[in-house]
Amino acid sequence: MKNFPKALALKLQQREANYALRELPFSKDSIDFASNDYLGFAKNETIFNETHEYLVQNNLKENGATGSRLISGNHSIYTTIENFIAKFHEVPAALIFNSGYDANVGFFSSVPQRNDVILYDELCHASIRDGIAMSNAKSYKFQHNDLEDLQSIIKRCHTEPVEVYVVTESVFSMDGDCPNLEELVSISKKYNCHLVIDEAHALGVFGESGEGLVQSLGFQNDVFARIITFGKGLGCHGAAVLGSDELKSYLVNFARSFIYTTGLSPHSVATIFIAYQQLQKGKVAMQKLKQNIQYFNQVKAQNGLKSLFVYSKSAIQCAIIPGNEKVKSIAANLQENGFDVKAILSPTVPEGQERLRFCLHSYNSEEEIFNVLQLLSNFVF
């Protein structure tokens, strides 16, 4: 295209030279070790059919009026589903956003105020960091899951009376590991901080009913806000911020990514509701996922691969293979053999921390897990 800005063209060329140019992947008929559909809900026919039945029974149109929820998009179904989500997660209130990105940007750009302090784990998701960048609050990162580093920064920040927000994830999307939530809660109480936890990759994976890591450990009353995302374990669109009634009211009034966007359609909101019901009923899928996580960890140890992987008991398993060119080559070999495994490149992760990211699912067979790890050992050794 003529007149494309030279600076932009140069940035694309640099990405390509570093083997880091992003391209949209094509859907292939291969074994899924890439999607976040941990429980198979995205292709669950029961959820699809029951969502349609729910809309018919409640005389709701599939799409309905479009617009911001503050204008014409606040369908009656929102109240029902938000109340259900709040009860399920044992909090006073829940507010649905269009995506996890919207929820994080809306929360962090509006809640912490000027002169407040945000302390966030250095590996927090881009959506959290983008929201923090839009905030008027001061922000400092602490070393990944290093709670001694966190405490030392808190002590420096408490030289004057300010609100301090401590931010982390219950399962990190690029490592699959978890923080010590018990100690985090203790530190937050000790220093009177507001603890905020993103549970995107814990919903549907941890807990008796897939309620997430915070609730499974009994800390739901000790966290100021939880951000949950439905596009992973629940296999559908949207997200929600969980917290107090006051927090919900504040976000409705000040979170720009909530105010100035078209609300989800009744069909999308109903799908969230039915997916939650399936979560309560479908414990077989959660149990199979847990078994697959255990089996994956056993097989990688048997194949001498344990040292390559970040320690994780979640559905996200990452093998560190430094160098964009090398990790892309191994991913391509796995894909050619029918396994959809994605390479995560720098600058998405720090240089030298490039990796293969394996996402495990309830529908992966033990044979598939064994074969993909056997292939990986052939390629790296």
For 285-322, the pLDDT digits (tens) are 999 999 999 999 999 999 999 999 999 999 999 999 99
Tell me the average pLDDT of the chain: 94
What is the pLDDT confidence band of residue 161, given thresholds at 50, 70 and 90?
Answer: low
What CA–CA distance (Å, rounded) separates 60 from 213?
Answer: 34
- pLDDT (mean) for 323-344: 95
pLDDT higher than threshold 90 for residue 376: yes
Is pLDDT of 60 > 90?
no
Instruction: Using the predicted structure, report yes or no on whether residue 26 has a pLDDT greater than 80.
Output: no
Give per-residue pLDDT as tens, 197-227: 999 999 999 999 999 999 999 999 999 999 9
Q: Is the pLDDT of residue 66 over 90?
A: no
Q: What's the confidence (pLDDT) of residue 24?
A: 83
- Domains and their CATH numbers in the chain: 29-41+283-380 (3.90.1150.10), 60-281 (3.40.640.10)
- Residue 1's pLDDT is what? 58
Looking at the whole model, is its pTM more than 0.95?
A: no
